[in-house]
């Protein structure tokens, strides 16, 4: 087997694991497990981010009365997650492979301590030859604190675990240069930095998942910027995972070219922490121009025009340019009151240090 990667994250979407009626496609699930087992036995460490709890629970429970979408998701996922992980457990056991369940929520990534705790948990699993199977804990997640979908979660996991590649399996072959249903459209095989995809991406959601192709490309871009190869491929194609690693040139998919610049562990966390931002730091035109240059610069009081929101030292804050656009996120070096007191002053310490600043 071609040993290009030693650690990969694989995200399996709802549309790969669900049949047309919304129930779990066990045949497809079994085929994917066979492929993951083959890669695992060849020495590739794999972290599996799997949707399918709701689809798994849908056929088990028949509510007495009509439920709203949140109640329905919580009920189906509570029943379905147990069924899903048990199914994975049995399928992997046939290959002599042990799996472990990791249920997480968006809040579990909100502090550096929680983030490192999760990383340590999965590192120990991999060191002991256990495949982590990760899913969002839909049973206790509330809408405003949920991941967009498991694409966002998979990006966080791939970044956190220093995977060399993230494979996002959907029910289409990749990103098309037109509508996937148009016979004249074809899959874009490679996407480099800065390529504008707005003309190609449809914002519509998938049948069973919460995210669409727009979510996938936004996540893929961010993860690729952190030096991780991202591949979007069709999980319903036979042997897709093995083919992607063994025959990358001839296997149909969209590949996002990773950045050559290494990104520190703390910057990876900050890059995915925008959802936890407690406030905003607005900067002037001069500071904006310096930030967008090649120089490594911090956010200094002299370049700040005003502060919005209340935040403590070490909280995540958004960086807003002079035109009102978000240009980055960072970890505050002081609280909001201290930041307000030094606005526009020379010779003061950075409000956000470069080491804790992620520019988009």
Question: Which residues, 6 or more positions from 21, have their beta carbon under 8 angstroms from its beta carbon?
Answer: none
Cα-Cα end-to-end distance for the chain: 37
What kind and span of H or E run contains 289? helix 285-291
The rounded Cα 191 to chain-centroid distance in angstroms is 18
Binding residues: 11, 51, 138, 150
Binding residues for ATP: 11
Partnered with residue 212 across adjacent β-strands are: 205
Q: Is 226 exposed, middle or buried, given 0-12, 13-18 or 19+ CB atoms closer than 10 A?
A: buried
Say if residues 291 and 327 touch (Cβ distance below 8 Å): yes
Binding residues for substrate: 51, 138, 150
**Euclidean distance between CA atoms 288 and 112, whole angstroms:** 27
Instruction: With CA atoms as reference, report the closest residue to 304 among 280, 279, 282.
Output: 282
């Amino acid at each position: 087997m071609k040993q290009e990667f030693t650690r990969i994250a694989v995200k399996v979407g709802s549309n790969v694991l669900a049949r047309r009626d919304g129930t779990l496609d066990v045949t497809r699930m079994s085929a994917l497990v066979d492929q993951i087992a083959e890669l695992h036995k060849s020495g590739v460490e794999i972290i599996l981010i799997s949707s399918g709890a709701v689809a798994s629970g849908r056929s088990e429970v028949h509510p007495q009365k009509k439920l709203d979408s949140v109640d329905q998701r919580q009920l189906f996922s509570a029943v379905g997650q147990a069924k899903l992980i048990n199914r994975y457990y049995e399928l992997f056991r046939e290959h002599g492979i042990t799996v472990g369940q990791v249920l997480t929520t968006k809040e579990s990534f909100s502090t550096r301590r929680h983030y490192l705790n999760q990383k340590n948990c999965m590192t120990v699993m991999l060191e002991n030859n256990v495949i982590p199977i990760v899913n969002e804990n839909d049973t206790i997640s509330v809408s405003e604190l949920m991941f967009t979908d498991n694409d966002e979660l998979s990006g966080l996991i791939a970044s956190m675990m220093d995977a060399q590649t993230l494979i996002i399996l959907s029910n289409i072959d990749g990103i098309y240069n037109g509508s996937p249903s148009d016979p004249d459209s074809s899959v874009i095989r490679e996407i480099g930095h800065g390529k504008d995809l707005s003309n190609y991406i449809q914002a519509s959601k998938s049948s069973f998942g919460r995210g669409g192709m727009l979510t996938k490309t936004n996540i893929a871009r961010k993860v690729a910027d952190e030096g991780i190869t991202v591949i979007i491929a069709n999980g319903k194609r036979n042997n897709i995972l093995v083919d992607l690693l063994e025959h990358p040139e001839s296997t149909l998919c969209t590949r996002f070219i990773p950045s050559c610049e290494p990104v520190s562990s703390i910057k990876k966390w900050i890059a995915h922490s925008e959802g936890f931002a407690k406030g905003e730091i607005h900067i002037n035109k001069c500071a904006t121009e310096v930030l967008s240059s090649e120089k490594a610069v911090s956010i200094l009081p002299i370049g700040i025009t005003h502060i919005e929101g209340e935040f403590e030292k070490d909280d995540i804050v958004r960086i807003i340019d002079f035109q009102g656009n978000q240009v980055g996120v960072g970890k505050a070096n002081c609280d909001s009151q201290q930041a307000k007191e030094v606005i526009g002053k020379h010779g003061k310490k950075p409000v956000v240090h470069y080491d804790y600043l992620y520019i988009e």
